[in-house]
Chains A and B, each alone.
Chain A
Amino acid sequence: SQTIHQWPATLVQPVGSPLSLECTVEGTSNPNLYWYRQAAGRGLQLLFYSVGIGQISSEVPQNLSASRPQDRQFILSSKKLLLSDSGFYLCASTLGDPYEQYFGPGTRLTVT
C-alpha cells in the first residue's frame, strides 16, 4: 500500500512571506497527485491536481502554485502569503481511475 508524507505538520508564517509545502509518496509509481485546502470549519477545496511529471491542473485562481518535479513528489508554493491562505493543506494520491484517494497527514498553516 502507498504512504504519503507531508511536512511540516504545522507552520506559522507572516503575511507576505513565501511558502513551500512538500508531499512525497511511497509504495507506488505514476500516481495522480492532489493538493486540497480546508479552511477552519469548512469542507475540502481542490487546489491542484497532477496526472504526471510537469503536468499541473489548477482548480481555483489564487496566489498559490504547484509543481511536480519528480513522479512521486508534489510541491505547493506561494511567493507571498495572504491571511486567507490559512488552513489545513492536504496532499492526496490515487493509483488509478476511478480508484480511491489516499491522503497524507496534512499541514496546518497559520498566516499571521
Chain B
Amino acid sequence: DAKTTQPNSMESNEEEPVHLPCNHSTISGTDYIHWYRQLPSQGPEYVIHGLTSNVNNRMASLAIAEDRKSSTLILHRATLRDAAVYYCIPYTSGTYKYIFGTGTRLKVLA
C-alpha cells in the first residue's frame, strides 16, 4: 500500500482558498488519488478523486503533480462547514481497499 504524508492540522480564514497538500511518493502509476473528509461525529464523505489530470467538481479541485508523487486538494472558498478532517487515499484499482491515514484537521476561522 502506498504511504501518504499530510500535515496534522491547518487553519484558514473563512471565504479564502485552502490548499491541502498530500505527499504520496510511493504511489504506483495506476493508483488513483482519492480525497475524503470527515465532519465531527459523522462518517467520511467523498470529495474528489483523480488519476493523472487535474479534476474539478462542485466541492473542490484536485491538482496532481506531474510526477504524481504529491497532490493538493483545493477548496476555493472555505466556509465554516468545511471544518473537517481531510484524508488523502491512494487507491489501487482491483484491490477494493481504501486505507485511511490520520488526515489533516482543517480549522476555518470566522
A73 at the interface (CB under 8 A from B): no
> Chain A interface mostly helix, strand, loop or mixed?
strand
Q: Does A67 count as interface, using CB distance less than 8 angstroms?
A: no
Contacting B97 at CB < 8 Å: which of A59, A100, A102, A105? A59
A34 and B44 CA atoms in complex are apart in Å by 13
Interface residues on chain A, size class: 20 to 34
Measured in the bound complex, the distance between the Cα atoms of B93 and A51 in whole Å is: 13
B52-99: which have CB < 8 Å to A? 87, 91, 93-94, 96-99
Q: Tell me, rounded to whole Å, the shortest Cβ–Cβ distance linking B90 to chain A.
A: 11
Known: A43-B102, A98-B32. A51 touches B46 (CB 8 A): no
**Contact B34 A44, beta carbon cutoff 8 Å:** no
Mark A residues whose CB is within 8 Å of B. Answer: 32, 34, 36, 42-46, 49, 51, 57, 59, 90, 92, 94, 97-98, 100-106
- Known pairs A42-B102, A44-B100 / 18 extra A-B pairs, C-beta < 8 Å: A36-B100, A43-B100, A43-B101, A43-B102, A43-B103, A44-B38, A46-B98, A51-B96, A59-B97, A90-B43, A92-B43, A94-B96, A97-B93, A100-B46, A101-B44, A101-B98, A102-B46, A103-B45
